[in-house]
């Protein structure tokens, strides 16, 4: 073989070398491109993760700050009133003591109150005349003087939800009840300062009293028929400090205990008289 046939001159080298160089350059460019893309993806992912965590942390801190600065306020649930019923025997006289809890006293004229779902006790308060139906003695409802008179010295004043029981022909509590939009009525006095008070009526009947006992205002009912004297003496023996009479005999009244059970006392139908009135707790 001649030298001409086996030697490769400079032109042939320059032709072959560029082809190899082009393939290597192409691969190099693709490698750089892929590497750059991967770097971009990695950087973008890292930035996204970092920014998201940082932003979430800021949002969480902001939310916690808002909760701390503006906490939700919840109104406390109002306690439901009820009447505690206690049976006892004093000197062989059976009694029922009705003690209000979480309930506010007031006076009401009319029998519609007997169907009010929020009333937990109702007892007839002042007497009314059989001839004209008017209330006997001074009577105040929400500061309004409905009736005048001093036929009975016993009184009950309800001012700012507090009951005061006493006996006096003239008392400043009447004016106070009017000025304070309170309540006032008169009845027979039974006990004053733990001392028995005598009254004219002598017959026997079922009796009721509004009484101050053990620092609380309660209603006391007799389960047997008693004279005024015997009933007042029983209240004294019970330890009552002050007490006035409530309409007794078969006059209707009721009480609701803590379980929502309603107890009706006496079976006489409530009088539809416009002056039928009650002391109630709601």
Going from N- to C-terminal start, the domains of the chain cover 3-69, 82-281
Rounded to whole angstroms, how far apart are CA atoms 259 and 256?
8
Which tens digit of pLDDT belongs to each residue from 75-86? 566 688 999 999
The pLDDT value given to residue 75 = 54
What integer is the mean pLDDT of 35-56? 50
Cβ partners under 8 Å of residue 1, min gap 6: none
What is the side-by-side order of every strand in the sheet holding 208-213? 82-90, 93-101, 216-222, 208-213, 242-246, 189-192, 195-196
**Adjacent-strand bridge partners of 279:** 107, 123
State CA 200 to chain mean position distance: 44
Whole-number pLDDT of residue 1:
45
8 A C-beta contact, residue 188 and residue 247: no
Closest CA to 188 of 180, 197, 179, 177: 197
pLDDT for the residue 42 = 58
Q: What is the pTM of this model?
A: 0.72
Element (H, E) at 177: helix 172-179
Q: What is the pLDDT of residues 100-146, one digit of tens each?
A: 999 999 999 999 999 999 999 999 999 988 788 899 999 999 999 99
């Amino acid at each position: 073989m001649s030298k001409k046939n086996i030697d490769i001159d400079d032109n042939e080298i320059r032709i072959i070398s560029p082809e190899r160089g082009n393939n290597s350059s192409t691969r190099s460019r693709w490698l750089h491109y892929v590497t750059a893309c991967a770097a971009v993806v990695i950087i973008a992912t890292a930035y996204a993760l970092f920014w998201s965590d940082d932003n979430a942390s800021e949002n969480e801190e902001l939310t916690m700050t808002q909760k701390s600065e503006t906490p939700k306020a919840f109104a406390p649930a109002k306690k439901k009133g009820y009447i505690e019923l206690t049976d006892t025997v004093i000197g062989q006289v059976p009694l029922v003591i009705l003690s209000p809890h979480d309930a506010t006293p007031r006076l009401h004229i009319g029998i519609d109150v007997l169907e009010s779902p929020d009333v937990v006790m109702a007892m007839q308060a002042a007497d009314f005349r059989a001839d004209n139906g008017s209330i006997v003695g001074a009577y105040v409802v929400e500061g309004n003087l409905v009736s005048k008179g001093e036929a009975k010295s016993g009184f009950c004043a309800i001012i700012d939800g507090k009951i005061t029981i006493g006996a006096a022909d003239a008392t400043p509590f009447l004016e106070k009840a009017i000025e304070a939009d309170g309540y006032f009525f008169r009845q027979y006095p039974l006990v004053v300062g733990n001392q028995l008070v005598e009254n004219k009526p002598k017959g026997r009947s079922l009796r009721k009293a509004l009484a101050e006992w053990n620092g609380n205002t309660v209603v006391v009912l007799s389960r047997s028929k008693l004279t005024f004297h015997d009933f007042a003496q029983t209240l004294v023996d019970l330890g009552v400090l002050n007490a006035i009479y409530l309409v007794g005999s078969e006059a209707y009244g009721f009480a609701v205990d803590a379980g929502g059970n309603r107890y009706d006392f006496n079976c006489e139908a409530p009088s539809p008289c416009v002056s039928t009135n009650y002391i109630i707790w709601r």
